[in-house]
A and B are shown apart, each in its own frame.
Chain A
Amino acid sequence: MRHVLFRLEKDRYALPLSAIREVVVAPESFTRVPRSPKAMKGVMNLRGRVVPVVDLRELLEVGPGPVGGPGRVVLLDRGRRELGLLISEVDGIESLEKIGPPAPRASLAVKGLARLGAIPVTVLDPDALDATVARAFTTK
């Protein structure tokens, strides 16, 4: 299946191409969402639509450090709404066929590990990502 490959700092991640609506340059600032979990970066105005954006690094709890540079926002297609994921940079589109089990203690949003040549790639599950965000809100 074709996946969009992207980076959080140096780590490589992938999401199924079919789950992604588009990728945009992150805006200079977000409107903070009050009373929201730490991973909630804020909302952005995307051509007149208000889109919630999550800091993927915080959501996956993969160590500290902000996303370097302006970053990109990957827009997940969630039917009649969309969910933005703040990431560092998009690498491209690759076909990933063999997806092995995830690393121990990985976030529930991780579907498994794949390899691109020698480089390990963490494959994320869009539905589980969405659920993880909702859970972060309800357990805040």
Chain B
Amino acid sequence: MAGPSWDTSRYLTLFGGEATEHLEALGKDVVALERGATVALVDSMFRHAHSVKGMASSMAFEGTAKLAHLLEDLLGTLRADVARADAAVADVILQTVDALGLHVKAAVASEPLPDHGALVTKLSELNAALAGKPPPVAPSAPTPTPVSQPEPARPVAAPGPSADASAPPRFSLKLKINPASNQPGVRGFLAYKRLSTLGNVFDLKPPLDDVKAGRVPQGTITLELESDQTEEAITRTMRTVADVELESISLLVKAAPPPPPSSESDPNRVVGQEPARTIRVRTEVMDQFLDQAGELLLATSRVRELTRSVPQAQRPALDEAVNRLHLLVKGLHDKVMEARMTPIAVITDRLPRAARDIARRRNREVELIITGEDIELDRAIVDELADPVLHLLRNAIDHGLETPEERKAGNKPPRGKVTIAVRRQRDRVVFELSDDGRGVDVERVKALVVERGLLTADHLQTLTERETLMLLCLPGFSTARDITDISGRGVGLDAVRRAVDQVGGTLEIETTPGRGTTFRLSLPLTVAVVNLLLVGVGDEVYGLPIGKVGGVVETARERLSMSQNAPVLQFGQSVLPVHELSALLEVPPDVQPPALVPFVVVDGDDGRLALAVDRLLGQREVVLKGLSKPLDLVAGLAGVTILGNGQPVFILDVARLVTA
């Protein structure tokens, strides 16, 4: 391998520091390994060894890289059967880690690297024994080169160019992989993939499996491409693939016999490698399906609106037809929604490993129990929740759980428990993440909120315990004493709350001092269809998600009470701050405001509040559309929809509307 082409000395300190970190982590993992081996643990060790190998080879410390590589191999073998990681194996791993440590030290001091020939042999032998293979006689060659074979004769019934005049043109291509390329298989595969984006590939030689394995005699690949693209466009695309040259391209004449019906069984046919029972659909296409089904729904309601102007005599037949159309469209929409359902396991599958990583870095011991991960939600919701859920887990381990020593002192088992329970509750999904840690210190939260000037002490007095806990989700709040790299990075609880709001869910926090904390997310199954309360302000119309509306009170403005010079509304047992929606949205209010003003009670970030509007326009089930740039920059808008009369209407995010 060629040496590095830069001055390595300036990276030396960095190399030393980072390699040492990885080796220390590896050492810790070995200790954990002796207590009980898991795939996740071996994975982590593999990653550290891999990193050290990569760094060492970048610095041209070949001996170090070799040692790390052997360790990586051993761990790779171990991964397949972690039960074989006994004390003897752990011993060899630890020796290797120590030896690598010596290498790094010597390297940083610019001293010659120590020789560990005996260890190299020991590692190879151990790996071979574990893998059940005899040790290699010589260092293995990079890629097995097959004995050169004569080109297979072209099958007589090969699917030639289609005689069907409507089929796209077919090109014959010859590619050549650069002989100097060190991964010819991947290069070939990349070229194949790139061409597949332009059309259908036929008659690939060598077959795809051989290409992927790097079995490409003389580096030459031939294939036929059925594509609507011009020859020039294909050439241009191939030019963006490094190390693969398009040697020739020619348009095939449409004169050959039609493809045989048995083309399915043709081994050279590489199109549609998936068995036919399930098909893969690009998520983008699924999104388009949903968009279009949603637009069909909207179009149907537009038709229904238009029928109102039709003379009474013709109404019944027309109504029936429209109703039938609506049912069909709704059915189609439901089917599309169903196809988008994704199990929550997509998110939770990666959590055990993340939990271990976080726990190790914070010297915690944690057991993660997940139930109900096969419950399905709309893909958009699952996507939106991936990062927030990871944050909640980090939070639980980092802030919720005590250290093993603290736990022992408190008569708890040293290993903390984090439970994730997912369950269906009528038309919603409840996602609960609980820890059995120290619980949230509510008094400390209050103190911090005041200290950071987020709320006044007076305001705090009026909050219920539930509302006080929600202060954890205020932007700029963090109970961590310092910003750690584990919880301080990325999303905070405010972002978690935001994401949950975004998909139309709610977040609740419960805590018991000394017993632990639970975060409960209540989520809708789907995002696309929402129930709105339509309100009028001035001559504009807005939608409020029904899920956020607690009630409506109609009263005269003069009858509102005042508190600290601001109007408040009496609602049941509580007193709510009043906001003028016209002011929040910068709408000129009605010149003649109604005598009785409708006040809509909604959930905000700090509890409920009342919004003064001009008119209530009724409830409507609508298809929610997300906001694209630049509309997503407006604080307080959650989405947009189109009413039956064709008018676009914005849906409000009340919490952000009053805070931002």
Contacts and interface: CB of A to CB of B under 8 A. Distances in A.
A137 B633 CA distance: 7
Contact of B586 (A34, A130, A133): A34
A136 B633 CA distance: 10
A43 B648 contact: yes
B640 interface: yes
Interface in B633-650: 633-637, 640, 642, 646-650
B369 interface: no
B330 interface: no
Size class of the A contact interface (CB-based, 8 Å):
20 to 34
A126 interface: no
B631 A52 contact: yes
B299 interface: yes
Nearest to A48: B295
A31 B628 contact: no
B503 interface: no
Contacts of B177: none
B543 to A, nearest CB: 12
Contacts of B647: 31, 45
A32 interface: yes
B298 interface: yes
A103 interface: no
Contact of B634 (A33, A83, A133): A33
Interface string A6-19: 00000000000000
B629 A134 contact: yes
A32 B542 CA distance: 11
A138 B634 CA distance: 9
A33 B298 contact: no
Nearest to B652: A34
Contact of A45 (B586, B628, B642, B650): B642
A25 to B, nearest CB: 15
B353 to A, nearest CB: 33
Nearest to A42: B648
Contacts of A31: 540, 647-650
B629 A81 contact: yes
A32 B295 CA distance: 21
B587 interface: yes
B424 interface: no
Contacts of B453: none
A137 B628 contact: no
A44 B628 contact: no
A95 interface: no
A134 B631 CA distance: 9
A35 B630 CA distance: 12
Given A43-B640, A45-B642, A48-B299, A34 B650 contact: yes
Contacts of A134: 629-630, 633
Given A52-B631, A81-B628, A33 B650 contact: yes
B633 A80 contact: no
B630 A45 contact: no
B288 to A, nearest CB: 10
Nearest to A31: B648
Contacts of A136: 630
A50 interface: yes
B633 A34 contact: no
Contacts of B428: none
B646 A35 contact: no
A50 B648 contact: yes
Interface string A31-57: 111111000100111001110100000
B116 interface: no
Considering residues A31, A40, A80, A138, which has the most beta carbons from chain B within 10 angstroms of its beta carbon?
A31
Contacts of A32: 540, 587
A35 B625 contact: no
Given A31-B647, A31-B648, A35-B585, A48 B631 contact: no
A60 B470 CA distance: 44
Contacts of A49: 295
B650 A138 contact: no
B635 A35 contact: yes
A21 B434 CA distance: 50
Contacts of B586: 34-35
19 contacts: A31-B647, A32-B587, A33-B637, A33-B650, A34-B540, A34-B650, A35-B586, A43-B631, A43-B640, A45-B642, A45-B647, A48-B642, A50-B648, A81-B629, A130-B629, A134-B629, A134-B630, A134-B633, A137-B630
Interface of A: 31-36, 40, 43-45, 48-50, 52, 78, 80-81, 83, 130, 133-134, 136-138
Given A31-B648, A35-B634, 18 more contacts: A31-B540, A31-B650, A33-B631, A33-B634, A33-B650, A34-B540, A35-B585, A35-B635, A40-B630, A43-B640, A45-B646, A48-B642, A50-B625, A50-B648, A81-B628, A130-B629, A134-B633, A137-B633
Interface of B: 295, 298-299, 540, 584-587, 625, 628-631, 633-637, 640, 642, 646-650
List of 5 A-B pairs having minimum Cβ-Cβ separation, nearest first = A48-B295, A34-B585, A81-B628, A137-B633, A31-B648
